[in-house]
Copies of this chain bind each other. A is one copy, B any other.
């Protein structure tokens, strides 16, 4: 195996770790399996990442951070609420559909190792200007108030609104094993379910807010 002049090996290890951690969770993952998946030996994992915990941190940072720029793009924009809802639903379903196990991994990691989120949040706060981070919730609130004032929308707290929006997008993926059993959905049926959802969810949400 040749040298890692351009960080190619480190990247391959991280990718392998992503696969294994997402599949088995941080506690269930084995360094040995990651090494095999990356085509290197276990010692090299420690050479690059020092410990399993640091590697797990790097993976969470990588996986969870991946979602952030698009979210910021949607909610940091000047679009109308209607547009934001539709953009978010489409973006989320289109992206996550290609890695449908990510949400389950993230939720599990949030639950068992919530301290990793703190670390990630600090980093994101450093990357994006504070103005964007601080402002986007009140801004959304103001946008809602506007619509309420002209009678185009019923009032809703912006945090409730956001939780609703994200919940409706994320949940089908984390509940997939249940859908498989309760609705008898095989892969194709699940895919059709997502198509239908992508099409109808924006209207469902916007209609919920009509006066």
Residues of chain A having any CB pair with chain B under 8 Å:
23-28, 101, 104-105, 107-108, 110-112, 114, 117-118, 121, 137, 154, 156-157, 159-160, 163-164, 166-168, 170-172, 174-175, 177-179, 181-183, 193, 196-197, 200, 204-205, 207-210
Contacts and interface: CB of A to CB of B under 8 A. Distances in A.
Contacts of A197: 160, 163
B111 A160 contact: no
Contacts of A159: 179, 183, 193
Contacts of A209: 204, 207
Contacts of A183: 137, 159
Nearest to A120: B181
A163 B174 contact: no
A128 to B, nearest CB: 13
